Amino acid sequence: MPDFQNSLRFVKRFLLLAIGLLLGVMPRVDAAKPGKISKVLPHWLDLRGRHTLSPSLLERDAYQSKLRADRGLCSGIRFDVKWSRNMGGDVKLQLELRVTGDTKPIVVEQAMKPSRRGGWDSVTLDGDAFKGIGKLIAWRVRLLDGDAVLAEQRSFLWTKRKPAAAAKEPTVD
């Protein structure tokens, strides 16, 4: 009988530990973070509007490299964004591009359906707007609710610019 009680005690402890681990790992709704951008995939589009020739990721990456190298083969650029939000409201995606030759970023916005709480959406810059821009330097994607920023993701080259008056003079050695 003592062996049965010991094994029962072990099973109870194991179940409590498993439940504790599951509750600790489960995703939580965080009111402090009302929105999230999980992933941003910039894709150059060819003249037919395709970003790849086949479903292979290796083929996609090779084709993207070819399109980046020769802008004559491109008709636009599309940013695929995976986003989510924890609260209601009208949200929109805002894409900002820093390109050569422009001091201000190019801004493109796209409204989301109010009933959606997340998923994949794309923001595309094509046509004359795409042909008029210089070389892409950096990008930033923001999830907005009105004017409030819910989430943001940016390329590693995106930096906050300081006004010219705030820049320090280099020291003379």
Q: Specify if 167 maps to a domain.
A: no
Pairing mode, if any, of strands 91-99 and 74-85?
A: unpaired
Q: Where are the beta strands (DSSP E) in the chain?
A: 35-46, 74-85, 91-99, 106-111, 118-126, 136-145, 148-154
| Best-predicted range by mean pLDDT (12-21, 24-33, 51-60, 99-108) | 51-60
pLDDT of residue 21: 74
Q: What is the pLDDT of residue 35?
A: 85
Whether 9 maps to a domain, the answer reads no
For position 74, which CATH number holds? Answer: 2.60.40
**pLDDT tier, 45 (very low <50, low <70, confident <90, very high otherwise):** very high
Return the CA Rg of the chain. Answer: 24
| Residues of the domain holding 63 | 35-154
Within-domain flag for 168: no
121 domain-assigned = yes
Q: Decide if 17 is inside a domain.
A: no
| Across 55-64, 144-153, 161-170, least confident range | 161-170
Helix (H, G, I), strand (E, B) or coil at 73: helix
Q: Provide the pLDDT confidence category of residue 111 given band limits of 50, 70 and 90.
A: confident
Quick one: average pLDDT of 132-157?
Answer: 91
Give the pLDDT of residue 118: 82
Res. 78: pLDDT tops 60: yes
* Residues 76-97, mean pLDDT to the nearest whole number: 87
- The answer as to whether 79 is a domain residue is yes
Whether the per-residue pLDDT at 164 is higher than 60: the answer is: no
Whole-number Å distance between alpha carbons of 171 and 158:
26
Domain tally for the chain?
Answer: 1
Q: Is residue 25 part of a domain?
A: no
Q: What is the dihedral of CA 155, 156, 157, 158, to 10 degrees?
A: 60
Q: Above 90 in pLDDT, residue 44? A: yes
- In a domain? residue 102: yes
